[in-house]
Amino acid sequence: MGIRAIALHLLAALWIGHGALAGDLSALARLDPAASRVVDAGAGIAIDLAISQAVPYRTFLLADPPRLVADFSEVDFGPSRPAALDRSERVHSLGWGPVREGWSRLVAELDGPYRIESAEERVAETGEAEIRLRLVPEEADRFAAATAGGVPEAARWALPEPVALAAPKRRQTGAAPLIVVLDPGHGGIDPGAEAGKAVEAEVMLVFARELAEVLRRGGMKVTLTRDEDVFVPLEARISVARAAGSDVFLSLHADALAEGEATGATVYLLADEASDTASAQLAERHDRADLLAGVDLSGQGDLVAAVMMEMARTETQPRADRLAGALVAAIKASGGRMHRHPIQEAAFSVLKSPDIPSVLLEVGFLSSEADRRRLADPVWRAGFQEAILAGLRAWAIADAAEAQLIRQ
Ligand SMILES: [Zn+2]
């Protein structure tokens, strides 16, 4: 990691102390989107963020695709979405949100290699602050050298704990409560799909909390991969499932599809390659979230590990297939609405646990007005959640029976 790529600006809090002008120190710093901007500056980019009080922050660059990352301790970005900000065409996308307790992150995807020419925080007499970042174009090889180290050590807290390659989990036999990990998709810097007032990350968090209660009442043990609006890297979601000793991993989504009139629930299974365009787009969008935050571990793992995982997957995949079938049957039996192709395959990283049957459930599509209405209806949700409980129960019984057969 070249020095140039990291600009660390951790301010001592001391100077805030002069006078009462600094305002309420315990209050969270808030971004004022109306006074903030991301604009062209000569051949480069100017990012000015108006915040209600000074905060420690740091910035760094990442490659593939080129991105500027800024971490703040801690900024409330409020209800406004990054898309609302006036934006330079040199910034392909802009995302912000909480990434970890006490930290917020902004990620700007750039149209090419840049370097951080300057980064400063100016504080007005009122205590309000402005963070001013200036990026200028950089030669490709210098940019590559500067970003070769990836995420700087100090910013690596977003990475999950390394997953120990323990023996594959013993499959459930029905002797103990079923352990279910629910994974509300997206969160924090990655809001997922947005349609009207509905934001996928929020809709799925509500749904997952309610579903957790339904499953617990049904005698299952439930863990959530996130229980607040925070960014959780995909690999960390899998780590949560392992740490919980999960029997089943259920990722919950409500995406928007641009093409066609997608409506109704869909169960996705892991595929090596996404089978059609819509599946490929979904997989791309979901896996992109990790790239955005600079966490991409997908290339990791040595050959031995890969072989071990492949062996485990050979037993796990048919179990996941049956799980998908059981969920679809239960949802249909409850009168719930399924997509006309209820079971599909896509290359979702989050489904890659080798020894935990994992499926991704699109509860509905936010792009469909009918689905949005259903998702907003607590009565409809309760019925759908009961159907998931019934599906999981039916699957667990059949799965345990098969486990007994294998063992004999
Ligand atoms: Zn999603």
Cβ count near 165 (within 10 Å): 13
CATH number of the domain to which 325 belongs: 3.40.630.40
Instruction: Tell me the pLDDT tens digit for each residue of 313-323.
Output: 777 889 999 99
Residue 229 is classified by DSSP as S
276-286 mean pLDDT: 72
pLDDT for 71 equals 86
Structural domain that includes position 102: 3-158
In a domain, 169, yes or no: no
> Distance, CA 25 to ligand 1 centroid (Å)?
36
Please name the amino acid found at residue 265. Answer: A
Residues 140, 262, single domain; the answer is: no
User: How many angstroms is it from 255 CA to the middle of ligand 1?
Assistant: 5
- Ligand 1 centroid to Cα of residue 288, in Å, is 11
Structure pTM? 0.74
Residues 69 and 192 in one domain: no
Residue 164: inside a domain, yes or no? no
Residues in contact with 52: Cβ distance below 8 Å, sequence separation at least 6, in sequence order: 23, 27, 29, 30, 32, 127, 128, 129
Residue 167 within a domain: no
Q: Which of 123, 158, 193 is the last residue of a domain?
A: 158
- Please compute the mean of the pLDDT values over residues 75-87 and round it to a whole number: 77
Q: How far is the CA of 174 from the centre of ligand 1 (A)?
A: 31
When mean pLDDT is compared over 36-40, 122-126, 267-271, 338-342, the highest value belongs to 36-40
Between the CA of 282 and the centroid of ligand 1 the distance, in Å, is 7
Does residue 227 share a domain with residue 146?
Answer: no
40 and 138 both lie in a single domain: yes
Summarised one tens digit per residue, pLDDT across range 164-220 is 445 566 788 888 999 999 999 998 888 888 888 899 999 999 999 999 999 999 999
Provide the 10 A C-beta neighbour count for residue 197. 9
Report how far ligand 1's centroid is from the alpha carbon of 322 (Å): 23
DSSP string, 336-377: --EEEEEEEEE--GGG--SSS-EEEEE---TTSHHHHHHHT-
CA of 248 to the centre of ligand 1 (A): 19
CA-wise closest residue to 106 among 39, 31, 161, 168: 31
In the predicted model, what is the mean pLDDT of residues 213-229?
Answer: 96
For ligand 1, the distance from its centroid to the CA atom of residue 298, given in whole angstroms, is 19
Looking at the structure, do residues 135 and 191 belong to the same domain, yes or no? no
Taking the centre of ligand 1 as the mean of its atom positions, its distance from the CA of residue 200, in whole angstroms, is 7
Q: Looking at 158, 188, 222, which one is the last position of a domain?
A: 158
How far does residue 286's CA lie from ligand 1's centre (Å)? 6
Instruction: List 57's β-bridge partners, or say none.
Output: 9, 72
Going by the DSSP 8-state scheme, the letter that residue 400 receives in this structure is H
Whether 278 and 393 share a structural domain: yes
Together in a domain, 316 and 345: yes
- Same structural domain for residues 266 and 149? no
171 domain residue, yes or no = no
Q: How far is the CA of 55 from the centre of ligand 1 (A)?
A: 32
Share of the chain above pLDDT 90, in %: 40
Supply angle C-alpha 269, 183, 103, rounded to 5: 135
User: From ligand 1's centre to the CA of 152, what distance in Å?
Assistant: 28
Do 151 and 199 share a structural domain? no
Q: Is residue 170 part of a domain?
A: no
CA of 73 to the centre of ligand 1 (A): 27
Whether 128 is covered by a domain: the verdict is: yes
128 Cα–ligand 1 center, Å? 36
Distance in angstroms (rounded) separating the CA atoms of residues 105 and 266: 32
Residue 381 above 50 pLDDT? yes
Ligand 1 ion: Cβ-proximal residues, 5 Å cutoff: 185, 192, 253, 255
C-alpha 398 to ligand 1 mean position (Å): 29
* Same domain, yes or no: 154 and 195: no
Cα of 387 to ligand 1 centre, how many Å?
21
* Highest averaged pLDDT of the listed ranges 73-87, 108-122, 183-197, 290-304: 108-122
| Average pLDDT rounded to a whole number, residues 23-42 | 80
- The CATH number of the domain holding residue 142 is 2.60.40.3500
Domain membership of residue 376 (yes or no) is yes
Q: Average pLDDT of 282-305?
A: 53
For the chain, give the mean pLDDT: 81
Q: How many domains does the chain have?
A: 2
pLDDT at 398 exceeding the cut of 90: yes
Whether 168 maps to a domain, the answer reads: no
Give per-residue pLDDT as tens, 129-151: 999 999 999 999 999 999 888 77
CA distance readout (Å), 333 to 110, 338, 381, 390: 48, 11, 15, 10
**CA 287–ligand 1 middle distance (angstroms):** 10
Residues 119 and 222 in one domain: no
Q: How far is the CA of 283 from the centre of ligand 1 (A)?
A: 9
- Same domain? For 147 and 198 the reply is no
Question: How far from 238 is each of 11, 187, 243, CA to CA, in Å?
Answer: 35, 16, 9
Give residue 111's identity as a one-letter amino acid code.
D
